[in-house]
Amino acid sequence: MTAAEGAVISKPTVGITTYQEDASWRGWHRHASLVPTDFLAAVADAGGVPVLLPPYGGDQEAASVMGGIDGLLLVGGADIDPALYGGTAGPHTSGFAPDRDVWESALLRLALAEGRAVLGVCRGMQMINVLRGGTLTQHLPTALGSDDHQPPEPVFKNAAITLSPDQLPGSAVGGHWDIPCFHHQAVDTLGDGVLATGWSADGVIEAVSMPDQRFVVGVQGHPEAAPVGALFAAFVAAAREIRTARETTVANDDARDGVRAA
């Protein structure tokens, strides 16, 4: 038995980005890094170890944390600055989070370059597309004449999504998906290497993937709120493959170093 074969592979680590919001708890009212615990539970239930990645710097800082991350989960939140895709903000585009734009772009850039598993939810799906040179529709109620994708009140609305059964996420969850949604923006033109793989009845792109990557999936809906176990299972399984490959490489390197030392 080789050292690699005898090694115990640890659980995959999934880095999860956070919202930056004013929050209240136990009488305290402070600005905080937040993420719904639904995300943490979904990752943990699938066998991963969730680690929060609040915005902190750019490329250098992202490189310092990505070395220990097997999967990257980009959550929802504020509108992406249209300047990132060559646009100008319309009247309904606001609440930008420049620190998140810089941080998540840096994390995602590294994740794609290093072949990590990536799951983007809502804003996270849009970030995947924008980083690859795609653009966004800034306000669906204006473009479609309805608020079907984002009700007036902050509550999820179930949307019926048709998925390509031979591409992610459809290959993991099936060809039809009823998923909680709440988004007023959406993918317009697709970025380089980004494939549309899911659509609502009105033609809005609701899921994307990057087939040339091991696992890169974006969904406009909120699978953590359902929850959609099959999607998180596939995501964490891909992260586990990456973890196994990395730890096997380290074990083999250590074994070769031991032989040389002997």
- Domain residue spans of the chain: 11-261
Cβ–Cβ under 8 Å, residues 25 and 256:
no
Q: Is residue 131's pLDDT more than 60?
A: yes
List, as one string, the DSSP characters of 101-132: HHHHHHHHHHHHHTT-EEEEETHHHHHHHHHT
Question: What pLDDT does residue 49 have?
Answer: 98
pLDDT tens digit sequence for 10-55? 899 999 999 999 999 999 999 999 999 999 999 999 999 999 999 9
User: Alpha-carbon dihedral of residues 57, 63, 66, 68, nearest 10 degrees?
Assistant: -120
Residue 130 confidence (pLDDT):
98
pLDDT tens digits for 199-210? Answer: 999 999 999 999
Q: Which residues are catalytic?
A: 122, 222, 224
Furthest C-alpha separation in the chain? 73
pTM: 0.92
| pLDDT on residue 5 | 54
Structure tokens at 247: 């730890």
Lowest mean per-residue pLDDT among 6-15, 50-59, 152-161: 6-15
Q: Is the dihedral of CA 71, 77, 81, 87 positive or negative?
A: positive
List the single range of 127-131, 132-136, 158-162, 248-252 with lowest mean pLDDT: 248-252
Tens digits of residue pLDDT in 57-103: 999 999 999 999 999 999 999 999 999 999 999 999 988 999 999 99
99, containing H or E segment: helix 98-113
Mean pLDDT of 220-243: 95
Q: What is the pLDDT of residue 154?
A: 87
Report whether pLDDT(250) > 70. Answer: no
Residue 81: name the closest of 153, 185, 175, 9 by CA.
185
Q: Does domain 11-261 have CATH number 3.40.1050.10?
A: no
Would you state the pLDDT for residue 147?
86
- pLDDT tens across 177-198, in order? 999 999 999 999 999 999 999 9
pLDDT-derived band of residue 152, with 50, 70 and 90 as boundaries? Answer: confident
Across 164-168, average pLDDT: 97
In the prediction, which pLDDT does 221 show? 96
Higher pLDDT, 257 or 87: 87
| pLDDT (0 to 100) of residue 247 | 85
- Residue 237: exposure state from Cβ atoms within 10 A (0-12, 13-18, ≥19): middle
Is residue 118 within 8 Å of 72, Cβ to Cβ?
yes
Are the C-beta atoms of 39 and 53 separated by less than 8 Å? no
User: Is it the case that residue 157 has pLDDT exceeding 80?
Assistant: yes
- Mean pLDDT rounded to a whole number for the chain: 92
